[in-house]
Structure 1
Amino acid sequence: MNDSTHALDAASTADVLVVGSGPTGLLLAGDLAAAGLSVTVVERRPHGISNLTRAFGVHARTLEMLDTRGLAEELIKGGTAVDHMDMFGRTTLDLTRLRSRFPFLLVTPQYEMERILERRALAEGVQFRYATELLTLHQDGDGVTATLRDAEDGRHLTARARYLVGADGSRSGVREALGLPFPGAAVIRSIVLADVRLEREPDTMLTVTGSGDSFAVVAPFGDGYFRVMGWNRKRQVPDTEPVDLEEIRAIAREALGADHGLHDPRWLSRFHSDERQAPSYRVGRVFLAGDAAHVHSPAGGQGMNTGLQDAANLSWKLAAVLRGRVGDPEALLDSYQAERHPVGASVLRSSGALVRLAMAHNPLQRTVRSLAVSILKTVRPAADKALAMISGVGIAYRAERGAHPLAGKRAPDLELARGRLYEALRQGRFVLVTPENAPLVAPGGVVGAHWRSGRAGSLLVRPDGYVAWASDGPDPAGLHTALQRWTGHA
């Protein structure tokens, strides 16, 4: 237990109680505390960032989101930027075509993400209590009461918060306490992982390929170790079955044509992957985020990234409601479900399709895989769209009928008269971008900025980097309505 833990009793209160200290919970807690709210995180595991990890890829949209918090550059320095991906030995996807400041996949262990996010959360004043398990929760009109158990001495504790967020993983105690189902099934079993050194590096730094009854993924961490993930149709055993290096070598030889002299493992593991999604991400004053709300196949490396984007979407909405800076609080909180549930369903479909392509076995399945790869190789718009969706930069939220075409879409990192848009978003507030000759006036809670170019329109960007409202020319009435709706001020 670290120095930031504190005793919880019947009088313990917080604006938000976050259950779970993985990447999703840490980002959410840090955002809320940075907005001036009191936040407590409870985690059933003992304190200590694990040096073992399944997630290892950070996509462009997540790096953009970290950039708006001033955290991207530090994470990038400790990882490896991969800008090309070999797919089944048939085509190479060019990530440099992504329209982003970060046109690559960053390969870095999940614990590095957790280290940076935990440090930020502590600096913002988040209170942590580790080795503490959620037992029950009860909601009323003013907040949520949680009953917890201290794993060290068995004591039952009580915590009170105005809102509670379950970011406690696929076996979420919060989801169970709500009585929510988690429908779905295992999509693939007996996946093996190894972090190893290689005597001979592959020609392409990030490789995804399959052959015969096996498939494998190879990615570099940048510290001399590589992540090798593989599966063999003929080796379907329980997760508890030990993994040895020879099993990894055999899969690599069949799928990759060579084992690249892999040796010196620092981690070996076996797991299965489910496809599941909770029907509701919000039940009253309780929310689900990350793996507590959805789990996907590992294909595309979208799991951790999707959870972090859940947190980025929810944090500013909770902060706005708790600080009274929104016209319709309930509608804003409901928009978390409306925006993020379809994204989770989409990731379920896309990652499931990718893993099924990798598992292709019979002639028909392999023909479908060959056709899909051929389309990605020859039809550039199709490849660009696939990359945009997997990387997150192509994800958009549904806007109201009649809204400007930019509404609901991700705002790129625009160059402003002073600095960049993502730098302006580091204040955690809405950003209003207006023409160069317009007065630089913005209501409370909104950052005002001018275009660097001679554009005549205006843009209101949400704290999570999505466009709330836009106009192609002067529209004072429209801006007034948008500010009233989104910020509670005009």
Structure 2
Amino acid sequence: MTSTGMTGTDTTSTGTTGEPGDRTGAHTDTDVAVVGAGPTGLLLAGDLASAGLRVTLVERRPHATGNLTRAFGVHARTLELLDARGLADELVGTGTTLTRLRLFSSLVLDLSRLRSRFPYLLVTPQYEVERLLERRARAAGVEFRRGTALRALRQDAEGVTAELAPPGDGGAVTRLRARYLVGADGVRSTVRDQLGLPFPGRSVVRSLVLADVRLADPPEDVLAANGTGDAFAFVAPFGDGWYRVMGWDRRHQVPDDVPADLDEIRGIARRALGSDFGMRDARWISRFHSDERQVPAYRVGRVLLAGDAAHVHSPAGGQGMNTGLQDAANLSWKLAAVLRGDTDDPQALLDSYHAERHPVGTAVVRGSGTIIRLAMARTPLRRAARTAVARLVTTVRPVSAAVTGMLSGIAVSYPAGRGAHRLAGRRVPDLLLAEGRLYELLRAGSFVLVAPRDTHPAAPEIAAAPGGVVRAVWANPSRRGALLVRPDGYIAWARG
């Protein structure tokens, strides 16, 4: 039987220079330079440092996390990955949970049916996610360089040299030498530009208005959302008295730098939702536009891209931050294995990052685009189609399960090689084992082999697992078969 994500899929990496994972003894200042201290970069840096690697995190913003952040929802799969880092339960305590997700008036998804320890959407500000991830990264020994911008980079057979300077035109340039560099620096990624990679796509919706407000008369639905064709809006609670509001008005399309105010978003809410719910005391308001774009290659030699630097899409479904965090979880264990010399085929293992995550990014771009277009449906024909889609998703159980699975990330799986077991590449739920919960065992950052007591499956895939294997036993003695679970919670190999 073959494995998935251990030797990777044979793909060609654009611009590869030199063999990854080589140990030449050449001077480096750090093992990995991560550019961008948003959620994606923080999780990746924390994982790598926890694996015993030297990590430098470069961020142009001078200060740590604040409350001016756009993301607000953490899906079930992301919570599982945070659980594998000991952070999920604390994060859940910072927000409120939604088991029903209304995408527009006639389409309601029941998240309580998800087979997960976290069968809901957690509504919490992005800065709470960043706070926990930064605390973990600092405790693991990540070196932070805030107020520092990437000016240029060049790579060779042995590493990457980054030129750094304070943001703006002034300031002395310093150089940082790393064995690998990861760009997690957002939609306007300097790393991506330095690689010369295109970012094909288009703007899907202009002049979105976002705000955090108090409500005098909150909606009955925990999350209120609707689109009328000329306007759409949603309102979601943070659980601490503040609400996140987003709105769009077809009749008021202006550039991003035109100031937005509370009266504008009140008007949008009244048109789309029938009420402004007594909005007041906005702590911040922002206007932005939404693009659909994806870079063609997530890896160019010793430089890799993750999060919004690699893909960007509409905010519908709240998948942006979640997809970036899942990118980081996929990449971190692979990069750690290469840097520690734990794999015989580092090139293929790094290539598997693109092979697995690029299709997921494509699916998210298309899925969120479909939701936003349905919400924006204007003509009678398109609105009838929206009603038909909503009825199908709401009433047909397999369709509803597929939609909630993809939106939550629970249904995401990775391709397996020819002849692989049918479970290879699939996500593993939080199994109860004799040693405890699976996701608690995954906190060691190692592969976990789950098998019956007193059996020791032998397979080349188990022997080749990068970084070694933690042995675990089924809690139910009647369970047969074996699973080799990757550090990111996906099945690498199975028997039985």
TM bin (shorter chain): over 0.9
Query: Alpha carbons of 1:440 and 1:452: their partners in 2 closer, same or farther (altered >3 Å)?
Result: farther
CA contact (8 A) 2:229 2:375 kept: no
Structure 1 residue 246 displacement after superposition: 1.2
Q: Which runs of no fewer than 5 residues in structure 2 stay unpaired?
A: 1-25
Query: Alpha carbons of 1:333 and 1:354: their partners in 2 closer, same or farther (altered >3 Å)?
Result: same
Aligned partners of 2:45, 2:201: CA distance in 1, in Å?
29
Question: In the alignment, what sits opposite 2:155?
Answer: 139
Matches within 5 A, 1:97-112: 97-112=113-128
Q: Which secondary structure does the structure 2 equivalent of 1:309 belong to?
A: helix
Q: Which secondary structure does the structure 1 equivalent of 2:225 belong to?
A: strand
Question: In the alignment, what sits opposite 2:264?
Answer: 247
2:489 to 460, 465, 489: 465
Aligned partners of 1:198, 1:14: CA distance in 2, in Å?
48
Aligned partners of 1:112, 1:28: CA distance in 2, in Å?
17
1:230 to 247, 253, 265: 247
Query: 1:467 is aligned with what amino acid?
Result: I
Question: In the alignment, what sits opposite 2:473?
Answer: 450
Question: In the alignment, what sits opposite 1:154?
Answer: 171
Question: In the alignment, what sits opposite 1:376?
Answer: 393
Query: Alpha carbons of 1:91 and 1:290: their partners in 2 closer, same or farther (altered >3 Å)?
Result: closer
Query: 1:46 is aligned with what amino acid?
Result: P
Aligned partners of 2:400, 2:325: CA distance in 1, in Å?
24
Query: 1:335 is aligned with what amino acid?
Result: S
- Is it true that 1:392 corresponds to 2:409 in the alignment? yes
- Is it true that 1:428 corresponds to 2:445 in the alignment? yes
Question: In the alignment, what sits opposite 1:297?
Answer: 314
Aligned partners of 1:183, 1:200: CA distance in 2, in Å?
43
Deviations 1:294-328 (A, max 9, x none): 00100000000000000000000000011111121
Structure 1 residue 88 displacement after superposition: 2.5
Question: In the alignment, what sits opposite 1:55?
Answer: 71
Query: Alpha carbons of 1:332 and 1:267: their partners in 2 closer, same or farther (altered >3 Å)?
Result: same
Aligned partners of 1:391, 1:242: CA distance in 2, in Å?
33
Q: Which secondary structure does the structure 2 equivalent of 1:352 belong to?
A: helix
Question: In the alignment, what sits opposite 2:203?
Answer: 186
Say what the alpha-carbon RMSD is for the aligned residues.
Answer: 1.5
Structure 1 residue 151 displacement after superposition: 3.8
Aligned partners of 1:12, 1:87: CA distance in 2, in Å?
49
Query: 2:387 is aligned with what amino acid?
Result: S
Q: Which structure is richer in relative contact order (CA contacts within 8 A, separation 6 or more)?
A: 2
Matched positions, count:
463
CA contact (8 A) 2:229 2:376 kept: no
Query: Alpha carbons of 1:12 and 1:457: their partners in 2 closer, same or farther (altered >3 Å)?
Result: closer
Once the two structures are overlaid, the 10-residue window that deviates more, 164-173 or 236-245, is: 236-245
Q: Which runs of no fewer than 5 residues in structure 1 stay unpaired?
A: 1-9, 473-490
Aligned partners of 1:445, 1:201: CA distance in 2, in Å?
52
Structure 1 residue 449 displacement after superposition: 0.3
Structure 1 residue 197 displacement after superposition: 1.1
Aligned partners of 1:240, 1:349: CA distance in 2, in Å?
28
Structure 1 residue 212 displacement after superposition: 4.5
Question: In the alignment, what sits opposite 1:32?
Answer: 48
Q: Which secondary structure does the structure 1 equivalent of 2:433 belong to?
A: coil
Q: TM-score, normalised by structure 2?
A: 0.91
Structure 1 residue 12 displacement after superposition: 6.0
Query: 2:482 is aligned with what amino acid?
Result: S
Once the two structures are overlaid, the 10-residue window that deviates more, 436-445 or 234-243, is: 436-445
Query: 1:320 is aligned with what amino acid?
Result: A
Question: In the alignment, what sits opposite 2:368?
Answer: 351
Deviations 1:192-233 (A, max 9, x none): 111111111212111221124111111100110111101011
Query: 2:471 is aligned with what amino acid?
Result: G
Structure 1 residue 439 displacement after superposition: 5.3
Moved over 6 A (4+): 440-444
Query: 2:486 is aligned with what amino acid?
Result: R
Query: 2:88 is aligned with what amino acid?
Result: A
Query: Alpha carbons of 1:138 and 1:170: their partners in 2 closer, same or farther (altered >3 Å)?
Result: same
Query: 1:163 is aligned with what amino acid?
Result: Y
Structure 1 residue 243 displacement after superposition: 1.1
Query: 2:479 is aligned with what amino acid?
Result: R
Question: In the alignment, what sits opposite 1:475?
Answer: none
1:324 to 337, 341, 357: 341
Once the two structures are overlaid, the 10-residue window that deviates more, 411-420 or 90-99, is: 90-99
- Is it true that 1:94 corresponds to 2:110 in the alignment? yes
CA contact (8 A) 1:440 1:450 kept: no
Once the two structures are overlaid, the 10-residue window that deviates more, 424-433 or 257-266, is: 257-266
Structure 1 residue 367 displacement after superposition: 1.2
Question: In the alignment, what sits opposite 1:219?
Answer: 236
Aligned partners of 1:381, 1:439: CA distance in 2, in Å?
37
Deviations 1:133-165 (A, max 9, x none): 111111111111111113496010000011000
1:313 to 300, 308, 330: 330
Aligned partners of 2:107, 2:362: CA distance in 1, in Å?
27
Query: Alpha carbons of 1:360 and 1:154: their partners in 2 closer, same or farther (altered >3 Å)?
Result: same
Query: 1:110 is aligned with what amino acid?
Result: Q
Query: 1:81 is aligned with what amino acid?
Result: T
Query: 2:472 is aligned with what amino acid?
Result: A
Deviations 1:340-394 (A, max 9, x none): 0000000000000000011101111111111111111211111111000010000
Query: Alpha carbons of 1:151 and 1:249: their partners in 2 closer, same or farther (altered >3 Å)?
Result: closer
Question: In the alignment, what sits opposite 2:15?
Answer: none
Aligned partners of 1:356, 1:374: CA distance in 2, in Å?
17
Deviations 1:377-432 (A, max 9, x none): 21111111100001000000000111111100001111101201101100000001
- Is it true that 1:272 corresponds to 2:289 in the alignment? yes
CA contact (8 A) 1:85 1:208 kept: no
CA contact (8 A) 1:84 1:204 kept: no
Deviations 1:456-485 (A, max 9, x none): 21100000000000000xxxxxxxxxxxxx
1:124 to 135, 140, 143: 140
Q: Which secondary structure does the structure 2 equivalent of 1:361 belong to?
A: coil
Structure 1 residue 84 displacement after superposition: 0.8
Question: In the alignment, what sits opposite 1:484?
Answer: none
Q: Which secondary structure does the structure 2 equivalent of 1:447 belong to?
A: strand
2:276 to 242, 252, 259: 259
- Is it true that 1:70 corresponds to 2:81 in the alignment? no
Q: Which secondary structure does the structure 1 equivalent of 2:336 belong to?
A: helix
CA contact (8 A) 1:14 1:40 kept: yes
Aligned partners of 1:35, 1:128: CA distance in 2, in Å?
17
The percent of aligned pairs where both chains have the same amino acid is 65
Q: TM-score, normalised by structure 1?
A: 0.92
CA contact (8 A) 1:440 1:448 kept: no
Aligned partners of 1:197, 1:284: CA distance in 2, in Å?
48
CA contact (8 A) 2:72 2:124 kept: yes
Query: 1:451 is aligned with what amino acid?
Result: W
